[in-house]
Amino acid sequence: MAKAEAPILITGVTGFVGLHCLLAALRAGEEVRAGLRDKPGVDRRAWLRGIVTRELGEDPGARLELVSLDLLADAGWDEAVAGCRGLIHVASPVPSEALADPDALVEPARAGALRALRAAAASEATRRVVLTSSSAAIVHGHARDAVSRYGPETWSIPDQCPAYPRSKVLAERAAWDFVETLAPGTLELVAINPGMIYGPVLDPQAYSPSGEPVRKLLAREIPACPEFGWAAVDVRDVAELHLRALAEPAAAGQRFPLGTEHLALIDVARILDRHFGPRGYRVPTRRMPNWMVKLAARFDPQVRLALHDLGLYERLDTSTTEAVLGWRPRPIERALIDMGESLIRLQMV
């Protein structure tokens, strides 16, 4: 691998997507400065380096530098970005249950994005920021039927969003607004907007609520399949496209929706049943009526979290992503199987 010309900074590396981004960058020969939030009494640095060493088959040594960053604190951001040619900002809060306050996640998401951008704009070396946004910043508040499709020009309507989509759309909007205030040529921004992200879980501590549909189906924690569904994407595609977005000149100033066709939960169940059923996993493959889902949401925080998607479709226009970043999706069946295998291996099922 050729030596990188200058390091890149990746935030949120202890999360599901951020950890995959970190590994993809190291495998591509990058020198990475990795931002993580410290937790009292927990040595997250040793934990992270251990996972990276295991996945790479060797210790990355000096190619991996770990730094402390907090979305709600100014300390460390300027130093973390200094000398980095680019920044991949993944860090953002992800809820594990429905929140009564639709603004509960907005401040850390928006403030963190702006801290990252201010530091990048102030750095002489940093030329581009790739922001991990979401399809949630695109589809909410619009007709979500079997024919409507939404692309980079569409924005979710904040007042019609529950907490998580609201945080994503307001954080991304704030990022674009900030870049508009800068002198031309100061800093380039790119947004990656993935749908539901499936793929291998590398550690129980680097887990995401996006894994819950697969885990619940394998564990048979639900008796049937609610009418949920989303555009789906492999986490390894998400990680690789962050790196392409950092490097591709034509990506500057663009949003990139990322997801296959709408994948219903019952289709996820059928894929899992074909693969894991012969091994004794009794995956439910019947449909659950909507009244039963609403009743279950009163007792299950994960079901309650997704309730706003009940009966709706998520169809993304990814033509720009394919044309500019050369995206050729991995089969989503492979992502689901690999996620299931990892959950079993980690004894999470």
pLDDT for position 111: 96
pLDDT in tens, 120-148: 999 999 999 999 999 999 999 999 999 99
Q: Does residue 242 surpass a pLDDT of 60?
A: yes
Q: Which of 35-49, 153-167, 316-330 is the least confident region?
A: 35-49
Confidence band, pLDDT 50/70/90 cuts, at residue 250: very high
User: Model-level pTM?
Assistant: 0.95
What proportion of the chain, given as a percentage, has pLDDT over 90?
Answer: 88
CA atoms of 229 and 268, how far apart (whole Å):
9
Contacts of 79 (CB under 8 A, 6+ apart): 67
Contacts of 59 (CB under 8 A, 6+ apart): 49, 52, 53
Q: Does residue 98 surpass a pLDDT of 70?
A: no
Mean pLDDT across the chain, nearest whole number?
94
CB atoms near residue 68 (< 10 Å): 15
b/e sequence 191-204, b meaning 16+ C-beta within 10 Å: bbbbbbbbbbbbbe
What does the pLDDT average to over 161-167? 92
CA atoms of 116 and 187, how far apart (whole Å):
12
Say if CB 119 and CB 77 are below 8 A apart.
yes
Q: Does residue 50 surpass a pLDDT of 60?
A: yes
The two structure tokens encoding residue 280: 């004794």
Q: Which residue, among 239, 267, 272, has the nearest Cα to 343 in the 3D structure?
A: 272
pLDDT for position 146: 94
pLDDT for position 96: 66
CA atoms of 278 and 291, how far apart (whole Å):
31
Say if CB 97 and CB 89 are below 8 A apart.
no
Q: Which residue, among 114, 43, 118, 120, has the nearest Cα to 83 in the 3D structure?
A: 120
Tell which CATH classification among 1.10.1060.10, 3.40.50.720, 3.40.50.1360, 3.30.420.40 matches the domain 8-345.
3.40.50.720
C-alpha 279 chain-centroid distance:
30
Amino acid identity of residue 205, one-letter, is Q
What residues does 118 pair with on adjacent strands? none
Q: Which residue, among 137, 90, 84, 89, has the nearest Cα to 117 in the 3D structure?
A: 89
Q: Does residue 278 surpass a pLDDT of 50?
A: yes
Confidence band, pLDDT 50/70/90 cuts, at residue 104: confident
Q: Does residue 100 surpass a pLDDT of 70?
A: no
CA atoms of 135 and 231, how far apart (whole Å):
8
What does the pLDDT average to over 309-315? 95
What does the pLDDT average to over 272-289? 97
pLDDT for position 1: 42
Q: Which residue, among 332, 80, 334, 130, has the nearest Cα to 229 in the 3D structure?
A: 332
Q: Does residue 58 surpass a pLDDT of 60?
A: yes
Confidence band, pLDDT 50/70/90 cuts, at residue 4: low
Helices 44-56 and 16-27 cross at an angle (nearest 10°) of 50
pLDDT for position 102: 67
pLDDT for position 3: 47
